């Protein structure tokens, strides 16, 4: 029998993806298509969930996504994801997206936020037990409790 996984801190799963958005990413309005941002969000969240689980993890749901400001070609998007809650096989991943011009060091603007749920899977595609989450900072504890409360209400 396999030993239970050792609990991890949110920092252990933190991932930041950076991508310069191009004209190929834009929509008819001249701003970056929301789907292009969503793909980067899902990629970063999957990496964070996989880091926490120590195995592949698949997207179960996008529990919420808010677009806060437009993104333009030439913007450097930074997509930061971290596990905010972990259950037996599932994980809630929070994502923050900021943008800045590719050729300057600021200012940055928050352009989107999201929360997704992932399930860890084994080689056969069956759900797999994941480590618990040990929030360390007051902000991590607040996020953990917020997700736990939402899950109880479901």
Nearest to 91 by CA among 123, 51, 67, 120: 120
In this predicted structure, the answer to whether residue 103 has a pLDDT above a threshold of 80 is: yes
The pLDDT tens digits of the residues spanning 7-28 come to 999 999 999 999 999 999 999 9
* pTM (2 d.p.): 0.92
What are the angstrom distances between the C-alpha of 147 and each of 16, 107, 124, 144? 21, 31, 29, 5
Per-residue model confidence (pLDDT) at position 4: 59
The pLDDT tens digits of the residues spanning 69-85 come to 999 999 999 999 999 99
Q: What percent of the chain has pLDDT over 70?
A: 97
* Helices and strands counted in the chain (H then E): 2, 5
């Amino acid at each position: 029998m396999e030993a239970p996984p050792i609990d991890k801190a949110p920092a252990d799963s933190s991932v930041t993806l950076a991508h310069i958005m191009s004209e190929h990413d834009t929509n008819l309005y001249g701003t970056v298509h929301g789907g292009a941002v969503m793909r980067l969000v899902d990629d970063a969240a999957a990496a964070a969930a996989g880091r926490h689980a120590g195995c592949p993890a698949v997207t179960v749901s996008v529990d919420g996504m808010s677009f806060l400001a437009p993104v333009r070609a030439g913007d450097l998007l930074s997509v930061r994801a971290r596990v905010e809650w972990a259950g037996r096989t599932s994980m809630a991943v929070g994502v923050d997206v900021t943008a800045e011009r590719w050729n300057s060091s600021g200012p940055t603007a928050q352009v989107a936020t999201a929360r997704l749920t992932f399930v860890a899977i084994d080689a056969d595609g069956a759900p797999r037990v994941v480590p618990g989450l040990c929030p360390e900072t007051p902000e991590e504890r607040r996020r953990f409790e917020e997700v736990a409360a939402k899950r109880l209400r479901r």
